[in-house]
Amino acid sequence: MPEKEWGRQGPPREAPRPLAPIEAVTPEGFKLPSAAEEQGTQSTYEAATRCPRCQIPGEVVSKVPSGRPGTQIHNVFCRNEACVWYNTSWIVQVNPDGSVPPPTKHKRGDIDKLFPKLAGPPEEEQRVIRSIERQVEREQQPGFEVRNPRG
């Protein structure tokens, strides 16, 4: 009966608990370095492909050429089920020489906002918001198709 109550997905998942730091010890009793300690000895690429939340190496699922010759964009997923970023992706840029540029922080205060406030009257802003809300409502209706205005 529980299958009918919850459907095919099963019971709702609990929120993942944060991972406690694990101290690994060799059979001889030597302490192995943690992921954070190990990052100092890793290449920049290895550090960039670690999950930003749990620091466990992610899974590279695609390597796509960038607009610059020789540069690639790697799409990486966290596969740690206990992490809050489980199945969340991030991208890593790899330059032609194999270097990885430092990550860009997209937070207020660090840099200008990526989507600056509209430079028009408040009525224009409200018109754009209403238009987006109407589009979202239409997209959620059965049979709605998003048409390409250029093709």
pLDDT at 41: 46
DSSP character string of 25-76: B-TTSPBPPPHHHHGGGS-HHHHHTB-TTT--B-EEEEEEE-SSTT-EEEEE
Q: How far apart are CA 15 and CA 23, in angstroms?
A: 24
Which tokens belong to 144? 């709605």
What residues in the chain have per-residue pLDDT under 70? Answer: 1-43, 104-120, 151
Q: Which residues contact 32 (CB under 8 A, 6 or more apart)?
A: 23, 24, 25, 26
Which tokens belong to 50? 């670690």
Is 99 within 8 Å of 93 (Cβ atoms)?
Answer: no
* Maximum alpha-carbon separation in the chain: 71
pTM: 0.46
pLDDT at 1: 46
pLDDT at 49: 92
Per-residue pLDDT tens over the stretch 23-48: 555 555 555 555 555 544 456 888 89
